[in-house]
Amino acid sequence: MKRAIYPGSFDPITLGHEDLIKRAAATVDELIVAVLVNPAKNPLFSVDERVKMIKEVTGKIPNVRVESFDGLLADFARKENAQFIVRGLRMVTDFESEMQMAQTNHVLNENIDTIFFVTSLKYSYLSSTTVRETAAFGGDYSKFVSPEVYAWVERRMRDLKS
Ligand code: ADP
């Protein structure tokens, strides 16, 4: 059983993330999308909200499971019996830190290999930060996220203003 973990902040999940999830899920037997509990960041959505949102948009892909985790990714991978970590590469700027993380994770857990997917051209500009900033300044971010996620962000923006 080939099991991979796709870790990230997903604050919120974008069409770029979704594209990568579809491609990775088609490559392995089970893909675990894992939302990182990162107390250092000040997120727009709580971890539970992000898990719910990701479940909504990936519900139709049978071999995708959504979880959250804190602590070391290498330990979470061991616990889940996963052999692979999936990450996306958008630009060269992603490369250096991703390479370092992949090598660190392999040292911490030698059963783990990182698989990189090159981002689809049409989503290579896209990040969760782009979505949050465009939404905060009243721009049209409907091309960046699924309709379900759009509704979550709209609600959050309204709540923040009231
Ligand atoms: P992190 O804070 O851990 O980088 P993100 O949610 O920003 O979490 O990203 C999670 C993963 O998804 C990373 O591997 C990142 O390179 C990848 N990713 C981010 N945006 C895109 C995109 N537009 N297309 C494909 N992959 C992406």
Residues touching ligand 1 (Cβ under 6 Å) are 8-10, 14, 16-17, 20, 87-88, 90, 94, 119, 123, 126-128
pTM for the model stands at 0.94
Atom 23 of ligand 1, nearest CA residue? 16
What is the 75 CA–ligand 1 centroid distance (Å)? 21
What is the 111 CA–ligand 1 centroid distance (Å)? 23
Q: From CA 78, how far away is CA 55, in angstroms rounded?
A: 23
- pLDDT tens-digit series, residues 14-71: 999 999 999 999 999 999 999 999 877 789 999 999 999 999 999 999 999 999 999 9
Contact 66, 35 (CB under 8 A): yes
Q: Given this model, what pLDDT does residue 42 score?
A: 87
> Exposure of 71 by Cβ count < 10 A (0-12 exposed, 13-18 middle, 19+ buried)?
exposed
Tokens of 57: 């948009």
